[in-house]
Structure 1
Amino acid sequence: MKLILTVFIIICSLLQAFSQKRASFLYSNTPLNYVIVELEKEFNIKLSFNSKLVENQSVTFQGKGVLLDDVLQFIEEQTGIKFFKVSERYYILKQKNPRDLTTTQRLNEVVINEYFTSGISKKLNGSITLTPSSLGILPGLTEPDVLQSLQLLPGIQSPSETASGLYVRGGTPDQNLILWDGIKMYHSGHFFGMISSFNPYITENVKFYTGGTKARYGSKISSVIDITSSNKIPKKVEGGFGFNMMHSDLYIKIPVAKKIALIASARRSFTDFFESITFKNISKRVFQNTKITDGKRSTQGYQVNHLIERFYFSDYTIKGIIKPNDNNEIVVSNLYTRNELDNEFSSLLNVFISDNIDINNRGTSFSWNHKYSKTFSHAFRSYYSNFDLEYNGSTYEGQVGVISYDTTKKNAVRDIGMSFDTNWEINKKNELGIGYQFTSNEIGYELGYRDLTPTGEFEIESIGNTNLNNNHAFYADYQYKNDDKLIINTGLRTNYMSAFKRLYFEPRLHLDFKIAPHLRFKSSLEKLHQEVSQIVEFQTKDFGLENQVWVLSNRKDIPVLKSFQITSGFSFSKKGWNVDVDGYAKRVDGLTSLTKGFENEENKHFFKGKSDVLGLDVLVKKKIDNYRTCLSYSITDNQFTFEGINGGAPFPGNFDIRHNFTWTHSYLWNNFNFSLGWNLRTGTPYTKAISFLEENNNIEIDYSKTNAYRLPNYSRLDFSTTYKFNFSKNEKWRAKLGLSVLNITGRKNFLGKSYKTINFTANGEKFSVFQEINKSSLGIIPNLSFRLEF
């Protein structure tokens, strides 16, 4: 580790001569025309624009030793202006095309421009916008992972330490609506969730909602993560490529014509032919307590005759953009992600184990935005999403070719949809958006299990189901805006689900008003429904990975989920201080024991239930020149109530993290960025095995009350640093080196505790063994990265 740090520091020192031009600014509600004059002088550039474009425009930001691109990004976020680079010295300023109300609010409605760090802003409509291209350095990350970046915000937790396992205000990951260019995603992680499956280098922005969402968003009850890839037509070919110790990637933006562009990206791991220390250490966390590691452990000390270990992930995107004129925009996007694992081995114990899993998620979307006038526009969108998971696991004992038992699992989701939205700016204070959305979900799963009996016959179990639901939704959004003094967003969504022949109503409300010059009050409420969710299946539990399947509600054993949430809070911003406080109450009805997978054996029967969540999220940030520090704290009380569990009394939810505290620091020095972050949180609940009784060679476990105990507190310290430099004086070739270390202290945390009994036969007698299973956290995970862009 010391050698890696030494080499990194030496390289950075040698490359410091390639530093970019930087300048320092301090603006507080400064007229934009004055700022432009200073930018031209400091960076030796020329900005061409219509004088009316910058009239009555002002900006507020401060920075020491910032780059030109950072300054332009700040201006774009605070105004309706876009900078177009003509050459290395000349830029053109243009007005941004207005978007429909049902999609997003105008960017000049920023209440906190730098909510957590640069590149993360908070809007007056309650949403948080993340811009990966201008994202500041985050602890443990050298590259801007789209989903991991959200985990540092209050109210968002990942008890499993994964990127895709986001628990938002007591909700589960399958309750998050994740969109990529309008495509619904049913699998958002690589390497069993450790890395998000969205390439950050072609991502333009991410809109994140935890409450008071727009009425156009439906089908999920927890949060909205709306990811949009780049929609710009470049003046010349742009691109970049890079690698870290897990994967490599590249992207390219090609202007096919003046008004047509193609954008493509590719990313693939090289874990199937090179195992770095990063991959090995993460693998210990991913594959622990699974059939893969347990099988190898059982043959330890014996010669391995046959061994195949192959795992890789990849994702590809291609996008076409056509802007025939200022009033029309046509976009076609395509995405494909894949994860594949092949694991086979045998030993002199005459045991052969095989596990193969293949996970694919592909999608296509089409959008046409048309502006009839300055006040009226429409947006037409359609998409197709296809998720496929297939697993095959076999165990041969005695001799290869004679199956002792095997397990199969298939899960498929076919989702198509279209929407038509209109937006009418009635006047400066009132806007109205109306839309219609159609979606069709076909979801199926198959689970199979074969066990060889002593008589030589197979005992076969097989279950499966396929269901279809068409959903018609009409919705409307209305906004009243009195400058920045008072903003009211209200909406109503009605869903008709054909599978249930029932109409569901979803009111939405968000308001924000200024109490004092630097203090604002905010509140929201919403009612949501969800018909597609994941349930826990126990057929492939011995595999230990991906033991959930997507299913469609049937209003019986898998009800439609219903959620009602109300929030209130305030935000304060002055002189580098940002304080944001949100209190909320949330109830979810329609939960089942199938969706939760309680460890207690008696709880594996079917029961219906609900959850009640009370929480408070607090964020405090202070910026002093190039130093930022941010405190994020959440207190949550998530209580489950099931009619047949725990005597019908409430008990802590499976991932009820009562206290979650994060403290981050970042510092910019010349071309170096440093970040350090500490996460401390309460351990998750678990059901303890108090005692066990062995009778007739069978073990019966006596459990405590459900989730009556907690794991020890979780603590982790992460570090990262990056160095930016140029390969040429004209800044055509820009590069970045990065080093990160997760859990630099090497602390061992526990993520879960469970129990199982193992039945086996020896010398003609049957035996049972009781085993306690502890799931450990990540160890020390170092990572190095390098990027080059042009």
Structure 2
Amino acid sequence: MPGTNNHILYLLLLLWCPFLNGQDRQKSPITDVLENISMTHNITFNYESDLLVGIEVLPPSKDLSLENTIRFLERQTPLIFTKISDLVYTITRVLKLCGYIQDASLQQPLEGVTVNGRSGYTVTDEKGYFEIELASLSESLTLRHIGFKTIERQARFFNIGDCGVIPMLEQAQVMSPSAYLVRGIDKRQDWNTSIDYKKFSLLPGLIEGDVLQTVQALPGIISVDETVSNINIRGGSHDQNLILWDGIKMFQSGHFFGLISSFNPHMTQSATIIHNGSDVSYTDGVSGTIHMQTDQQLQPHFSGLFSVNFLNADLLTNIPLGGKSSLQVAARKSVDNLVRTPTYDVYFDRVTQDTEAQENVSEVTNSDQAFNFYDTSLRWLYNPSDRDMVRVNFLLINNDLSFNETASVDGAIQTRESSVSQNSLAAGLHYRRHWSDAITTVLNIYETDYKLQSINANVLADQRFLQENTVSETGVKVEGTYRREQWQFKLGYDFVETEVVNLNDIDLPRFVRRDEEVLREHAAYGQALFRSRDKGFTIRSGIRLNYLSKFKELILEPRISIRQALGDHFEMEAQGEYKHQSTSQIVNFQNDFLGIEKRRWQLSDNDAIPILKSKQASLGLLYKKDGWLLDTKLFLKKIDGITTQSQSFTTKYEFIKESGSYTASGVEFLLRKKFNTVHNWLSYSYLKNTYTFENLEEVEFPSNFDITHSITLGTTYSDRSWDISAGVNYRTGKPTSIPLPGNEIIDDDVNFDQANDVRLQDYLRLDASAIHKFKINDALRSEIGASVWNLTDRKNSINTYYRINQSGTIDTFSRFSLGITSNVVFRLYF
């Protein structure tokens, strides 16, 4: 055993000898070492004279190769040796650049900014912080973040080692550094109104960032029946609005059959509202466009949100999948299955008001009324490189209402279920490639499917009436953009195929009618944008050429937008566009789909249902100074190809099928004053909206959406802890027709006086809301809030219609808006 131990000790000493010899060697100045290497290998080292001052190294063994010798020196020093040729090497020092990147306007951290050097790559964290190693001060760095201007400059122009703040400017600069209406609603240099819910504060009566409710605070946008499924932009009907969710066209916009938006407010991060002067890439939407967009930034950290209010609960999570990918999942569901809240009851009564679901014939009793809704969003975000961006989106929306009808039939109690459902399923792929700072291409593909179905069970007649309206649309768009100094050029191709199916199926007596229409449309477009160096003048002009293969029709659509700064405080804008649209919503009968959702989508046949074509022009002047903002616009719009069925007639001309046009003209006015944390605003719209139907008794008469005067007055207080808002909405009553006094009935039909010659009572509503924000700990923060809609509980009439009863007289029916309605919310961010 002693001999064995000696052998082990001897082997250990042999293994440690090189280390011990190394420890005995003395370090030498690196300049002396480099001279010896130069002589041994016959090479030259180039470096700045003060770069090597004070650096000492252990001399490498003379037996090492040149390559291993250089590696030996690099391991001991913060130096980089770069081979220029077989005889020359340059020496540089490793530099560390760190910093905090912020949004220049909000001075808030920007997470997910990509920082690229020649040999390094990193991404900013939730505090906007990054670190990166560089080879030299001349190395070029590129900072990129979607929605912000790219920064590209040499490292020498940053504060090396100081970890300072680096501001990034938004790509589309707002016209005014302060909010257009409240914080988060801005007017941009592309003439559109933008809503950013990361910055958004609060509007009266709202506790969620509901896009389709928010847009109604803007001048020129209202809803004549107080729903998000009937939004009227400058006097147009709801079907004349193009509603997009991440580039996917949506045919359903509301939950609760129109009372709240069907798009999860926490998944939707921004929205763009276009009245006029659309980009040539947009089609449809002859009245306007609402483009909702989800968060485009790749978030490298897990985060989430849970929220519950008196209508629904929802959950949103962001799950990182490595450094270049993440998954976002959002789900929202009504709380009716758990608890029936007073808010829910008010909404349910509003939806079923004067419908078969609420009041049946006297012999039939309704029971077991149940309603629920849900939506689910799934998004995959993938950045394979700093120049490529892939986004895959999925959306599911569903509304279901059912109830039992019970009656005594031949002495026996019979019960049958009636129901109505409305749902959408959509998916999209968006791929963007930055070939260079000048050239970008985009590929957008989507499929959207919509279905409205009702089963009306007539228990007395033992009859079932099935109605369905389905829409299936596929879209493919390819687009390229070239930027050069003050110019931007865009070229694109767009293909859309739309299929609409309408089904009416009665089991007794047997009757089935199924109408199916398909329309394919190709479009090519081009656009140029010029902006002066001082950004005082901008012009965007383009043309879109559409071909409808079914009708063999070419439609040419020029569009233009011009903005000119007039001094430091004034800006003038002029806009014009031509547009067309091949889908519209019609009403066959007021009791379609149990009277709860009466409008069904219909494709143009270029005859009885013409292609909608619009012409629109506007002129605006904007003033801003010292927190004041004044925005005034004059506009003129004409839409050809409307039908009486698409205009929601409930009185005169309810059952008439004719086509015509309408002309809308008016003024939009917004005055806003900001006092530090308080925003006050007054908006006013004047509208004259006139129908022209050549084959009707009155050729010209006021439109059903002719709301002459509309006024909104509001104030919002916002700081780090509180958002508080209150406001008043007023507008003149909706036009309607009444039975002719003294001669109300002719041939068992209501005999109406002049069309839309009278108005319902004026609409007035007072709202208020408040949200308190607080931090629980470093990982959790929370919000609690409450809102009251229609504080005064005013009974606002939104529609009136007439029916002849069994005694031969006329009954008057009125539909009313929501009464006083409160809501409470709790949110937890993690």
Q: TM-score w.r.t. structure 1 length?
A: 0.83
Deviation at 1:237, TM superposition (A): 0.3
Q: Is residue 471 of structure 2 the alignment partner of residue 435 of structure 1?
A: no
State whether residues 635 and 660 of structure 1, in contact with CA within 8 Å, keep that contact through their aligned partners in structure 2.
yes
User: Match for residue 354 of structure 2?
Assistant: 289
Per mean C-alpha deviation after superposition, the further-off stretch among 147-156 and 599-608 is 599-608
1:690 counterpart (714, 721, 740): 740
* 1:136-147 to 2 correspondences below 5 Å: 136-147=201-212
C-alpha distance in structure 1 between counterparts of 2:128 and 2:502, whole Å:
58
Q: Is 1:107 aligned to residue 171 of structure 2?
A: yes
CA separation of 1:257 and 1:655: change in aligned 2, threshold 3 A: same
| 1:47-68 deviation digits (Å, cap 9, x = unpaired) | 9449xx99xxx966xxxxxxxx
Against the structure 1 CA distance between its residues 355 and 723, is the aligned structure 2 distance closer, same or farther, given a 3 Å change threshold?
same
Over residues 370-423 of structure 1, what are the superposed CA-to-partner deviations in whole Å (9 max), with x where a residue is unaligned?
A: 1111101111111111111111111222xxxx51x5432111111011111000
What displacement does 1:672 show?
2.1
Higher relative contact order (CA 8 A, sep 6+): 1
Tell me the alpha carbon deviations over residues 88-145 of structure 1, each in whole angstroms, 9 at most, x when there is no partner: 5846894334799xxxx96343113411111111112211111112211110011111
The answer to whether residue 532 in structure 2 is matched with residue 479 in structure 1 is no
* In the alignment, structure 1 residue 72 sits paired with structure 2 residue 108: yes
1:755 correspondence with 2:802: yes
Residues 89 and 592 from structure 1, CA distance in 2 versus in 1: closer, same or farther, beyond 3 angstroms? closer
- Change beyond 3 A, Cα 1:751–1:106: same
Q: Return the TM-score normalized by structure 2.
A: 0.79
Q: 1:357 to 1:367 in 2, by over 3 A?
A: same
Indicate whether 1:638 and 2:696 are aligned: no
Residue equivalent to 2:196? 131
Separation in 2, partners of 1:273, 1:342: 17
Which residue is 2:419 aligned to? Answer: 356
| Correspondence for 1:656 | 706
- Indicate whether 1:95 and 2:144 are aligned: yes
Q: Which residue of 2 aligns with 1:30?
A: none
The SS at the match of 2:358 is helix
**2:284 counterpart (196, 216, 219):** 219
**Counterpart amino acid of 2:457?**
S
Q: 1:106 to 1:726 in 2, by over 3 A?
A: closer
* Match 2:125 to one of 72, 81, 86: 86
Following superposition, the deviation at residue 630 of structure 1 comes to 0.6
Where does residue 645 of structure 2 map in the other structure?
594
Give the corresponding residue for 2:676: 625
Alignment pair present for 1:787 and 2:827? yes
**Equivalent residue for 1:242?**
307
Residues 84, 635 of structure 1: alpha-carbon distance in 2 compared, 3 angstrom cutoff: farther
8 Å Cα contact 1:237-1:255 kept in structure 2: yes
| Distance in 2 between residues matched to 1:94 and 1:695, nearest whole Å | 74
Aligned match of 1:416: 474
Distance 1:588 1:695 in 2: 34
Matched, 1:536 2:587: yes
1:336 aligns with 2:336: no
Most deviating of 269-278 and 607-616: 269-278
Question: Secondary structure of the residue that 1:295 maps to in structure 2?
Answer: coil
CA–CA separation in structure 2 for the residues paired with 1:358 and 1:272 = 17
CA contact (8 A) 2:242 2:288 kept: yes
* Aligned residue number for residue 778 of structure 1: 818
Deviation at 1:86, TM superposition (A): 2.1
Per mean C-alpha deviation after superposition, the further-off stretch among 84-93 and 142-151 is: 84-93
Q: How has the CA–CA distance of structure 1 residues 559 and 88 changed in structure 2, closer, same or farther, with 3 Å as cutoff?
A: closer
1:444 to 2:501 alignment? yes
1:719 and 1:746 mapped to 2: Cα distance? Answer: 13
1:706–1:90 Cα change, 3 Å: same
Higher Cα Rg: structure 1 or 2? 2
1:311 is matched with 371
Question: Which protein has the bigger strand share?
Answer: 1
Q: What is the deviation of 1:448?
A: 3.9
Partner Cα separation in structure 2 for residue 519 and residue 90 of structure 1: 38
Deviation of 1:327 after TM superposition, in Å, equals 0.9
1:608 deviates by 1.6
* Larger deviation, residues 600-609 vs 492-501: 600-609
Q: 1:608 aligns with which of 646, 649, 659?
A: 659
Query: Paired residue for 1:561?
Result: 612
Q: CA deviation at 1:358?
A: 1.6
TM-aligned CA distance change 1:707 to 1:371, over 3 Å = same
Residues 91/278 of structure 1: CA separation in 2 closer, same or farther (3 Å cut): farther
**2:455 alignment counterpart:** 392
Query: Equivalent residues in 2 for 1:117-266 (5 A)?
Result: 117-266=182-331
Q: Map 1:517-536; keep pairs closer than 5 Å.
A: 517-536=568-587
**1 CA distance for matches of 2:625 and 2:803?**
55
Aligned residues: 693
Q: Which amino acid aligns with 2:531?
A: K
- Equivalent residues of 1:693, 1:701 under 8 A apart: no
Matches of 1:632 and 1:694, distance apart in 2: 40
User: What displacement does 1:529 show?
Assistant: 0.4
- Per the alignment, residue 79 of structure 2 pairs with none
1:564 and 1:89 map into 2 onto residues whose CA distance is 46
2:34 matched residue in structure 1: none
Superposed CA RMSD in Å reads: 2.8
Aligned-partner Cα distance in 2 for 1:88–1:111: 28
**One-letter amino acid of the counterpart of residue 446, structure 2:** Y
The residue matched to 1:445 in structure 2 has which SS? strand
| Alignment match of 1:674 (pick from 704, 719, 724) | 724
AA aligned to 1:783 is: N
Instruction: Quote how far apart the aligned CAs of 1:71 are.
Output: 3.5
Q: Does 1:514 align with 2:565?
A: yes
Cα distance in 2, alignment partners of residues 338 and 595 from structure 1? 24
Deviations 1:432-455 (A, max 9, x none): 0100011111111112457xxxxx
What SS is found at the alignment partner of 2:455?
strand
Q: Which residue of 1 aligns with 2:43?
A: none
1:590 counterpart SS class: strand
Structure 2: how far apart are the matches of 1:84 and 1:576? 36
Q: Tell me the SS of whatever aligns to 1:546.
A: coil
Residue of structure 1 equivalent to 2:520: 470
- 3-state SS of paired residue (1:341): strand
Does the CA contact (< 8 Å) of 2:581 and 2:612 recur in 1? yes
User: For 2:634 and 2:742, how far apart are their aligned partners in 1?
Assistant: 43
Structure 1 residues 691 and 371, CA, compared in 2 at 3 Å: closer, same or farther?
same
Structure 1 regions of 5+ residues with no counterpart? 1-46, 61-69, 77-82, 451-457, 760-766
Percent identity reads 29
**CA gap 1:293/1:353 in 2 versus in 1, 3 angstroms:** farther
Distance 1:587 1:518 in 2: 32
Structure 2's unaligned 5+ residue stretches are 1-96, 113-121, 132-141, 150-168
> For residue 23 of structure 1, what is the aligned residue in structure 2?
none
Q: Distance in 2 between matches of 1:154 and 1:702?
A: 37
Residues 645, 706 of structure 1: 8 Å contact kept: no
SS of equivalent to 1:174: helix
Question: What's the CA shift for 1:592?
Answer: 1.2
